[in-house]
């Protein structure tokens, strides 16, 4: 039997993107479950605020997945063959735009908080958070408007400006956050006189660019598809996964601290490393350790720090021998500059 036809409407371009969005959304939710489990096992001593963010994201994503499952069943199960499902928005879609906007704001708010910790200035964070909050409000307004107008797809086009502002605001905020973090970290890296510190900051810069590109790319593509292909559902592919991109990017950032721990141990030769707390001394919400290598970066003037206390413990036949080298001058300007460089990711 030939598939149903609607004059002037390409049905596969309306149903196919939804199928892809549902499937890819499940994949990203599975990744989030794994990342949440990794976080729970690795960072049990994290601050209560960080834990609240993690579990809030997981709960919101779980609700999002439940709603998309209901929507998929109502359209491709119970509503199979009913052409009205192509012109009406299922009730289970009502909470999806607010959830997407809220997930984006939570992830962006986390990075904005890191920017504040790095700069100790409120003006840039206020600007960024205002943009993030605006896109979230646009998402909520759009969802409420469509819900009050019988969930008709035609109502989407009536509020095109609000949807565009929502998507454009999210993409703009992602770009500004990424550029700001890369710029701030790059400036801090140039002030460091140690290859150990420079290498760690370099890793932070690369990771910031990668995660920032992920969410920025998704937001920009969704905006372009919405503006250029409103007669089909292709833009819904990224609508169904954009929130998961934000969630996975944030969880990846938090879990990357365990990788930094291994890196620190390897780079510093195990000097001053402890497994009692989370990963790197470059994280404020982790237990601080001592600095590893004190090797100067080639091409930069060496700095004198007065006294450094290095302790090496050697176990032999159940006995321990401790060797120490002690210095006392910790008041020099060089020491202050050193503190600024080694605690960058403490604030990041």
Write out pLDDT tens, residues 214-225. Answer: 888 888 998 898
Are 133 and 240 found together in one domain? yes
Q: How confident is the model at residue 64 (pLDDT cuts 50, 70, 90)?
A: very high
CATH number at residue 193: 1.20.1070
In a domain, 261, yes or no: yes
Buried b (16+ CB within 10 A) or exposed e, 122-155: eebbeebbebbbbbbbbbebbbeebbeeeeeeeb
Concatenating the DSSP letter of every residue in 211-243 gives HHHHHHHHHHHHHHHHHH-TTSSTTHHHHTTHH
In a domain, 149, yes or no: yes
Are 286 and 259 found together in one domain? no
319-325 and 310-316 strand pairing: antiparallel
Mean pLDDT of 64-86: 82
Q: Are 97 and 79 in contact, with CB atoms under 8 Å apart?
A: no
Are 158 and 125 found together in one domain? yes
pLDDT reading at 63 higher than 80 = yes
In a domain, 1, yes or no: no
pLDDT reading at 1 higher than 60 = no
Count of CB atoms situated within 10 Å of the CB of 30: 12
Q: Are 106 and 61 in contact, with CB atoms under 8 Å apart?
A: no
- Range of weakest confidence among 44-53, 56-65, 101-110, 253-262: 253-262
Using alpha carbons, list the distances in angstroms from residue 143 to 124, 150, 184: 29, 11, 36
Are 242 and 308 found together in one domain? no
Are 145 and 294 found together in one domain? no
In a domain, 75, yes or no: yes
In a domain, 182, yes or no: yes
Are 110 and 250 found together in one domain? yes
Mean pLDDT of 229-236: 80
**Which of 266, 293, 328 lies at the terminal end of a domain, its last residue?**
266
* Nearest one of 224, 210, 107, 114 to 164, comparing CA atoms: 224
- Range of weakest confidence among 74-88, 268-282, 309-323: 268-282
In a domain, 283, yes or no: yes
Are 222 and 322 found together in one domain? no
Question: Number of structural domains, the chain?
Answer: 2
Q: Find tokens 């003006």 and name the residue.
A: 123
Are 297 and 243 found together in one domain? no
**Which of 244, 266, 288 lies at the terminal end of a domain, its last residue?**
266
pLDDT: which is higher, 264 or 60: 60
pLDDT: which is higher, 7 or 22: 22
Burial of 344 (0-12, 13-18, 19+ CB in 10 A): buried
- In eight-state DSSP terms, residue 90 is -
Are 149 and 292 found together in one domain? no
* Domain membership of residue 332 as a residue range: 272-347
In a domain, 41, yes or no: yes
Are 143 and 165 found together in one domain? yes
**Which of 242, 266, 290 lies at the terminal end of a domain, its last residue?**
266
**Quick one: which H or E segment has residue 319?**
strand 319-325
In a domain, 3, yes or no: no
Are 93 and 209 found together in one domain? yes
Task: Supply the pTM of this predicted model.
Answer: 0.72
What is residue 11's predicted lDDT score, i.e. its pLDDT?
A: 74
Residues 108-150 have pLDDT tens digits of 999 999 889 888 889 999 999 999 999 999 989 888 887 777 6
Are 224 and 319 found together in one domain? no
């Amino acid at each position: 039997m030939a598939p149903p036809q609607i004059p002037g409407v390409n049905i596969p371009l309306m149903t196919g993107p939804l199928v892809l969005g549902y499937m890819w959304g499940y994949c990203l939710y599975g990744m989030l479950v794994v990342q949440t489990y990794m976080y729970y096992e690795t960072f049990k001593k994290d601050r209560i605020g960080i834990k609240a963010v993690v579990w809030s994201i997981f709960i919101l994503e779980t609700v999002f997945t439940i709603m998309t499952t209901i929507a998929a069943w109502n359209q491709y199960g119970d509503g199979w063959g009913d052409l009205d499902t192509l012109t009406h928005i299922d009730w289970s879609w009502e909470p999806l735009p607010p959830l997407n906007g809220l997930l984006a704001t939570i992830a962006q708010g986390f990075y904005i908080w890191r920017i504040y910790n790095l700069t100790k200035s409120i003006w840039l964070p206020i600007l960024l958070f205002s943009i993030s909050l605006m896109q979230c409000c646009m998402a909520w307004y759009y969802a409420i408007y469509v819900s009050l107008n019988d969930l008709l797809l035609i109502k989407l086009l009536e509020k095109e400006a609000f949807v565009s502002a929502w998507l454009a605001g999210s993409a703009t905020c992602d770009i500004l956050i990424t550029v700001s973090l890369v710029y701030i970290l790059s400036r801090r890296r140039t002030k460091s006189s140690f290859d150990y510190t420079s290498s760690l900051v370099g890793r932070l810069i690369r990771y910031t660019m990668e995660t920032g590109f992920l969410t920025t790319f998704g937001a920009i593509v969704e905006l372009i598809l919405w503006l250029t292909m409103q007669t089909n559902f292709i833009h819904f592919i990224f609508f169904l996964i954009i929130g998961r991109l934000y969630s996975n990017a944030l969880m990846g950032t938090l879990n990357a601290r365990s990788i930094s721990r291994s890196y620190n141990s390897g780079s510093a030769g195990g000097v001053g490393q402890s497994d009692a707390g989370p990963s790197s001394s470059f994280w404020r919400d982790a237990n601080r350790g001592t600095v590893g290598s004190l090797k100067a970066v080639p091409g930069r003037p060496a700095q004198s720090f007065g006294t450094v206390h290095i302790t090496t413990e050697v176990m032999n036949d159940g006995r321990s021998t401790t060797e120490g080298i002690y210095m006392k001058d910790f008041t020099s300007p060089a020491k202050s500059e050193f503190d600024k460089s080694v605690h960058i990711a403490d604030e990041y």
